[in-house]
Amino acid sequence: MDLRGATALVTGGSSGIGRAIAKALVETGTKVAVTGRDEKRLAEVAGTLKAVAVRADVSNEDDVRRTYEEVLRAFGHLDILINNAGMGIFKPLIDMQRSDFDAVLATNMTGAMLMAREAAKHFISRKRGNIVNIGSTASHRGAPNGTAYYASKAALRSMTECWRAELRQHNIRVFLINPSEVITGFAAASGFAQKDNPTKLRSEDIAHAVRTVLEMDDRGFTTELTVFATNPKD
């Protein structure tokens, strides 16, 4: 698709990978709206990128509906949804609290479904559209302390395949982008240490992948793309 003049909604767009995706799209001439829960960050992103900022929690159904109302009021229509909002809580199984488990799935799984559901309604009516789910290599494997996060990303991968099967007949492309380790604030927010190294992936690398798959002509699409660092050093 031609991204010049297109419209996009990026959830979790006030920092990290989401912000990098929003920036990359704006630079191609796309009109972008970003969502997030941090009002201060949203205001900064809106000012810097000249994006539409919507303070919203993707796990809140009322917030989701309001998000689309605000975005459609601003743009008139939507071409692209980037399902990027995510959180992580990493604990051993024996220490996992139900509330923590539910919180991760509420954002990473249920929130993604709610956002995609409303986007799909709009896209079906227009007979075109694009949903990009930001997954993780965690969806293909397991790891200690990963019960909640890994489960949520595996669920997102499965939902992506279901949505793709349903929506292709409406000319809607559904992509899954799986980053491996990326240097962002996610680790600190999730309560674990992350070693920085120039050989590890940056948010801009994932943004490049998103932009690239979207720019393919609408007659085809890349169903799933995994992004690894070439030779990361711990």
Total number of domains constituting the chain: 1
| Residue 184 covered by a domain | yes
End-to-end CA distance of the chain: 38
Whether the Cβ atoms of residue 52 and residue 42 lie closer than 8 Å to each other: no
Residue 191, pLDDT > 90, answer: no
| Residue 100 covered by a domain | yes
The DSSP string of 30-90 is -EEEEEES-HHHHHHHHHHHT-EEEE--TT-HHHHHHHHHHHHHHHSS--EEEE-------
Residue 192, pLDDT > 90, answer: no
What is the distance between the alpha carbons of residues 209 and 72, in angstroms, rounded to a whole number?
26
Q: What is the CATH number of the domain that holds 163?
A: 3.40.50.720
Residue 110 confidence (pLDDT): 98
Both structure tokens of 174? 């559904």
Mean of per-residue pLDDT scores for the chain:
97
- Tell me the average pLDDT across 90-98: 98
Q: Is 155 helix (H, G, I), strand (E, B) or coil?
A: helix
Q: What is the pLDDT of residues 4-14, one digit of tens each?
A: 999 999 999 99
Closest CA to 218 of 146, 99, 123, 150: 123
| Residue 1 covered by a domain | no
H runs (alpha helix) in the chain: 16-27, 39-49, 61-75, 98-105, 112-126, 147-167, 186-190, 203-215
Identified catalytic residue from 68, 101, 149, 163:
149
Q: What is the pLDDT of residues 167-179, one digit of tens each?
A: 999 999 999 999 9
Q: Would you call 68 a catalytic residue per the annotation?
A: no
Whether the Cβ atoms of residue 139 and residue 98 lie closer than 8 Å to each other: no
Whether the Cβ atoms of residue 152 and residue 108 lie closer than 8 Å to each other: yes
Range of the domain at 221: 7-227
Quickly state the pLDDT bin for 222 (edges 50, 70, 90): very high
Q: What is the pTM of this model?
A: 0.96
| Residue 234 covered by a domain | no
| Residue 98 covered by a domain | yes
